[in-house]
Copies of this chain bind each other. A is one copy, B any other.
Amino acid sequence: VTAGNVFLADCPARLAVEIIADKWAVVVLYGLAGQPRRHGELAGLIGGISKKVLTHTLRRLESSGLVTRQAYAAAPPRVEYELTELGRTLIDPIRTLTRWAEANGEAILDAQDRYQPA
């Protein structure tokens, strides 16, 4: 539900954007692209994310139908997270974004260095 090209409050598109407009969510989804991953494996790949936040992020993605959680009864425990069909459809848009980021990250850092508040 958009007017022209601008979001209106409370439209579905805006709600969905709120889900993915999250630093950790994007990084976690990207980490799950291609193959299922275990909790600790994801933490290692991402770097700098605490267990608490990773778990919380995964739960939120799970509750939104983007990720599945599969626990295998064993000692030590083994839990695998995997993108759902819906989650996989998000990877392309994310890749578009990360390609942009890789191409323009330096430009942004340069701009930040040069920026003088008026």
Q: Measuring CB to CB, which residues of chain A are less than 8 angstroms from any residue of chain B?
A: 2-9, 11-23, 25-27, 30-31, 33-34, 45-48, 59, 62-66, 69, 86, 89-90, 92-93, 96-102, 104-112, 115, 117-118
Contacts and interface: CB of A to CB of B under 8 A. Distances in A.
B89 A104 contact: yes
A25 to B, nearest CB: 8
Given A86-B107, A90-B100, A96-B93, A64 B21 contact: no
A5 B92 CA distance: 12
Contacts of A18: 23
B89 A12 contact: no
A5 B22 contact: no
Contacts of A19: 108
Nearest to A90: B100
Contact of A30 (B5, B16, B22, B46): B5
Contacts of A98: 2, 7, 13, 17
